[in-house]
Amino acid sequence: MSTVLTVLRKDMLLELRSLETVPAMVLFSIATFVIFHFGLNRATIDGQLAAGVLTVTLLFAALLGVNRLFVAEREQGGFDAFLLAPVDRSALLVAKAAALFAFLAMLEVVAVPAFGVLLLGPSLGPPLLGLIAVLALADLALAVIGTLVSAIAVQSRARDLIGPLIGLPLLIPALIATARAAGPLLAVHGSGSPPGKWVAVLALYDLVFALLAYAVFDFLLED
C-alpha cells in the first residue's frame, strides 16, 4: 500500500505542476458538448439520447488521459526503476488506475454541470446520487482498462493509435451498460435510481476486468 500511495502521490503532484492532462480532458469535453448543442439543433435533449452523448463524450475525453498515463515512466526510465525496486509490481497498476480514476472524477466535476447547462436545460435535472453511482462504476471500468491498454501501448511508437484500438472493443460492454443505466436518470420525469440490471452489469464488468488486469500486469511490465 505504501508503494501505491507513493506512486499515486507522484502522479498527482506531476499533474498539479504541469496541468497537462485534466485541463485538456475538460476542454475537449466542453468543446464536444458545444458541438452537440449546435449540431443537434435542439433546445434540450433527454433520456437515452442524452445518456449516449454524455457517455461518448466522457469516453473520448478519457482517452486523452489514457494516452498520457505512462509517458513519464517510458521517457524517464520509470519502468526500469520499478522493475529493479523490491516492491510488488502490481502496485503500479493500482496506483495508475487510481490516478486515472481521480482524473476522471475531476473531469466530471466540471463536465457534467456543463453538460446540464448546454444540453439538458434548466427544466431537467438528473437525480444526482444515481448519476454519481453510475459514473463512478463507469470511471472504474475506464481506469482499469485504460491502465491496462496504456501499459501495452506505451511500449509502441504508435501508442496514440494502439491504445484506442485495443481499449475501445474491450470497453463496449461497459459503455452500453453506462448509457442504459444513465438513460432513465436523464429522462423527463424519469426514475430516481438507475436500473439495477445495468448497474449489476457494470459492477460485474469492473470486478472481472480488475482481476484480469491484476493477473496479467506483471507479464506486461516485464515485456
**Residues 174-197 pLDDT 10s:** 999 999 999 888 887 666 678 889
Terminal-residue alpha carbon distance, the chain: 24
187: exposed, middle or buried (C-beta count within 10 Å: 0-12, 13-18, 19+)? Answer: middle
DSSP track, 104-159: HHHHHHHHHHHHIIIII-TT----HHHHHHHHHHHHHHHHHHHHHHHHHHTTSTTH
Provide the domain count of the chain.
1
Please tell me the distance from the alpha carbon of residue 61 to that of residue 51, in angstroms, as a whole number: 15
pLDDT of residue 177: 94
In the chain, the amino acid numbered 179 is A
Cell of 146: 485504460
pTM assigned to the model = 0.88
pLDDT tens digit sequence for 76-117: 666 666 666 666 777 788 888 999 999 999 999 999 989 988
Place of cell 503500479: 92
What is the number of other CB atoms lying within 10 angstroms of the CB of residue 5? 13
Q: Which residues constitute the domain of residue 13?
A: 2-222
Q: With contact defined as beta carbons under 8 Å apart, do 205 and 177 qualify? A: yes
